[in-house]
Amino acid sequence: MNSYETLFILRPSLDEEAVKANVDKFKGIIEENGGEVETVDVWGKRKLAYPINKVNEGIYVLFNFKADSELPKELTRKFRIADEVIRDIIVKHEK
């Protein structure tokens, strides 16, 4: 199993319950596919470096997890089809 870090940005119009629901949804995707979530860190609403689709703020969420090499592809696919996610990135930690 490899160590990964993912940071995704949710739409700023979401309330706390919707943010928690999205965090639980993506955490569930990792766990359902044999991954193990180590830490979940919700940074909250922050200003974006540049506007994305006329949006200037976003809710940042950081996950650290361990998984097989196929899981990041599936997680990226789920991020891309979720309307609530503005941007995402997954980085593999080298040993």
Q: Which residue has the tokens 């979940």?
A: 40
Helices (H), 1-95: 16-32, 71-81
pLDDT for residue 9: 96
pLDDT for residue 1: 87
Which residue stretches of the chain have pLDDT < 70?
none
CATH number of 2-92: 3.30.70.60
pLDDT for residue 12: 95
pLDDT for residue 95: 74
Q: Which of 8, 4, 3 is nearest to 61 (CA)?
A: 8
CA angle centred on 69, ends 30 and 7, rounded to 5°: 50
Which residue ranges make up each domain of the chain? 2-92
